[in-house]
Chain A
Amino acid sequence: MTRSALPGFGLTLGVTVTWLSLIVLLPLAALALRPWELGIAGVWQSVTEPRVLAALRLSFGAAALAAAVNVPLGLLIAWVMVRYRFPGRSLADALIDIPLALPTAVAGISLTALFAPKGWLGAWLAPIGIQVAYTPLGILVALIFVGLPFVVRTLEPVILDLPADAEEAAAVLGATRPQTLCRIVLPALAPALLGGFGAAFARGVGEYGSVIFIAGNRPMVSEIAPLLIVIRLEQLNYAGAAALGLVMLVVSFGLLLGLNRLHRRAA
């Protein structure tokens, strides 16, 4: 066996595996073991009820849509933050991270107060027939809010590293600005865009605190899967809650794995 040129491989790998096992795998294993007291048929039944399926569709659908909205907007913001210098830039830079630092319940309550029929924005939207708070649209708004920093922060270092000479060369060779953007800039950013999408999506799927206040929580309409887990826990149905948790885990893991594959291929 040849020794790796990098020192400390054994030690670092050992720490990595131990830490991952302790922090990630152990709780996941506990989750994966819990539902089976219901029996395979019981688990299947408890995760295929129409109400559960509706909640899963909503959680994954809204998270995907919110991430999809955040990608172009996040790209724009990251671009402006990296490429331009303007007064108040550092303030704006700090603002982007607020959704990460703010307790999610505070975000949820603020958004609800804003979008409720009597709120600042809600009062304007209500007359034109748009209701945001207490509808799936409200869930989307909350998820866009919490997901934005993930896209911006993933893109910024990559935009920073974009070689300016490629863009200059394109311009010299007679490319129009849209051509430069589509042929040169966006392909180079594609992996980072995918990565940002994945991070925002993953955050959205599991989000509870901010959504619960604005969602309305009506079964079949605006009830997210994490709320169903909480409801099952409160009914002391630990196995049913774990079954639903396991489904979310498996689906999320599959999707993130797929995204990572794409990411690597694009890179």
Chain B
Amino acid sequence: MPLPFLTRRIALGALLAAPSTRAAEATTLLNVSYDPTRELYRDINKAFIAAWTAKTHEALTINQSHGGSGAQARAVLDGLQADVVTLALAADIDALAKRGLLGSDWQTRLPDNAAPYTSTIVFVVRQGNPKQIHDWPDLLKPGVQVITPNPKTSGGARWNFLAALAWAKRQPGATDASVESFIQALFRQVPVLDTGARGATTSFAQRGLGDVLLAWENEAFLVRKEFGETDFAIVLPSVSVLAEPPVAVVDRVVDKRGTRQVAEAYLRFLYTPEAQEIAARNFYRPRDPAVAARYASVFPALTLATIQDFGGWDKAQPAYFADGGLFDRIYAPGK
């Protein structure tokens, strides 16, 4: 979402994302990514280009494109020539694999389920936590407004939704009905459903809407960095979800453009200590144990559900987010 407070960066992103000119001398790569990774890949690209040029003496340009994860996947499906995709959910890359743009084994081609960094879902509250929000049940208190984007259009919102589900499922005596009624009560507290994570952040931080923002951990840190450490606080819920934003080379595009070698090197670079350090600095949880140890104070250990606890995306997507899924049902009239 092109929104004011990050406009400078977004303008830069848009510039970088402009249709790649295939200059004869420089190889170009297009990285199609999701909403909050602008800053991360700007830093990663700089580091990778330096490393690549030092090794091969070839000029390299990396273009970035950002947007809602689902919208980005659709753009690639409709012909956007992405050499690599770095999206918010495996389900979005699965959708590309199902339509033959890359092999269905993409998630085993790289370590750690092809997710070089992870994140989780946390709460952002206003200064002094006036509504005393400490865990999921506090979100249902009367008068508390919860800000989350729309799970239909935002990958981050789907992780928010799953984190809430994970908490509800772990309550003693939880049943399908109790889980559903928790989710329904939660979304009754939501006054606005923005289409993307950045939009929700802006509604909360800049427009002053709501008491608590459900956000990517990296986005939560960014809110504090951009809007002042004192105005916002991060609250860690007792249960959250391990979000694994995966990366993949788009076979059909790299084979056509002859960029497979550099595209694969680019993704492997994400696992190097250097890139892991960059990821951690941009508030993504690194996989590399040594780097993770250095940032242990930034990223406290949390009880995290994984997508496997929900039967994988193949089951979670239709059960919760597709037409007629749980998210649709909680908004059905008469409920």
Which residues of A are at the interface with B, using a C-beta cutoff of 8 A?
Answer: 50-51, 54, 105, 109, 112-113, 116-119, 133-134, 212-213, 216-220, 227, 230-237, 240
CA–CA, A119 to B192, complex, Å? 16
Known A116-B209, A216-B191, A218-B193; contact A234-B153, beta-carbon cutoff 8 A: yes
Which B residues are in CB contact (< 8 Å) with A134?
191-192, 209
Known A212-B195, A236-B77; contact A218-B190, beta-carbon cutoff 8 A: yes
* 4 tightest Cβ-Cβ pairs between the two chains A and B: A118-B208, A219-B331, A116-B207, A234-B70
6 additional contacts, CB 8 Å, given A227-B195, A231-B152, A234-B153? A113-B206, A116-B207, A134-B192, A216-B193, A235-B70, A240-B323
User: Which residues of B, 187-211, contact A by the 8 Å Cβ criterion?
Assistant: 190-195, 199, 203, 206-209
Smallest CB separation, B10 vs chain A (Å): 12
For chain B, the bracket of interface size reads 20 to 34
Q: Is the interface of B mostly helix, strand, loop or mixed?
A: loop
Q: Are B331 and A109 in touch, CB under 8 angstroms?
A: no
Smallest CB separation, A163 vs chain B (Å): 49
Closest B residue to A223 using CB positions? B193
CA–CA, A54 to B208, complex, Å? 28
Smallest CB separation, B156 vs chain A (Å): 14
Q: Are B74 and A236 in touch, CB under 8 angstroms?
A: yes
Which B residues are in CB contact (< 8 Å) with A51?
328, 331-332
Any chain A CB within 8 A of the CB of B302?
A: no
CA–CA, A50 to B203, complex, Å? 28
Which B residues are in CB contact (< 8 Å) with A219?
193, 328, 331
Q: Are A220 and B207 in touch, CB under 8 angstroms?
A: no
A-B contact pairs, 30 of them (CB 8 A): A50-B333, A54-B333, A112-B207, A116-B203, A116-B207, A116-B209, A117-B208, A117-B209, A118-B209, A134-B191, A134-B192, A134-B209, A213-B199, A216-B191, A216-B192, A217-B192, A217-B194, A217-B195, A218-B191, A218-B193, A219-B193, A220-B331, A231-B150, A231-B153, A233-B74, A234-B70, A234-B71, A235-B152, A236-B74, A237-B323
Any chain A CB within 8 A of the CB of B4?
A: yes
User: Which residues of B, 94-122, contact A by the 8 Å Cβ criterion?
Assistant: 95
Which residues of B are at the interface with A, using a C-beta cutoff of 8 A?
Answer: 2-4, 68, 70-71, 74, 77, 95, 150, 152-153, 190-195, 199, 203, 206-209, 321-323, 328, 331-333
Q: Are B192 and A234 in touch, CB under 8 angstroms?
A: no
Q: Are A105 and B150 in touch, CB under 8 angstroms?
A: no
Q: Which of A216, A220, A232, A234 contacts B68 (CB 8 A)?
A: A234
Q: Are A109 and B77 in touch, CB under 8 angstroms?
A: no
Q: Are B207 and A105 in touch, CB under 8 angstroms?
A: no
Smallest CB separation, A236 vs chain B (Å): 6
Which B residues are in CB contact (< 8 Å) with A212?
195
Which A residues are in CB contact (< 8 Å) with B328?
51, 219
CA–CA, A116 to B321, complex, Å? 29
Which B residues are in CB contact (< 8 Å) with A119?
207
Known A231-B153, A234-B70, A236-B77; contact A217-B207, beta-carbon cutoff 8 A: no
Known A212-B195, A235-B152; contact A105-B2, beta-carbon cutoff 8 A: yes
Which B residues are in CB contact (< 8 Å) with A237?
323
Smallest CB separation, A90 vs chain B (Å): 31
Q: Which one of A213, A227, A237 has the greatest number of beta carbons of chain B within 10 Å?
A: A213
Smallest CB separation, B333 vs chain A (Å): 5
Which A residues are in CB contact (< 8 Å) with B322?
235
Which A residues are in CB contact (< 8 Å) with B199?
213
Q: Are B150 and A217 in touch, CB under 8 angstroms?
A: yes
CA–CA, A113 to B209, complex, Å? 11
Smallest CB separation, A240 vs chain B (Å): 7
Smallest CB separation, B92 vs chain A (Å): 10
Smallest CB separation, A102 vs chain B (Å): 14
Q: Which of B70, B95, B192, B207 contacts A218 (CB 8 A)?
A: B192
Known A218-B193, A240-B323; contact A133-B71, beta-carbon cutoff 8 A: no
Which A residues are in CB contact (< 8 Å) with B153?
230-231, 234
Smallest CB separation, A237 vs chain B (Å): 7
CA–CA, A213 to B207, complex, Å? 11
Smallest CB separation, B121 vs chain A (Å): 20
Smallest CB separation, B187 vs chain A (Å): 9
CA–CA, A230 to B190, complex, Å? 21
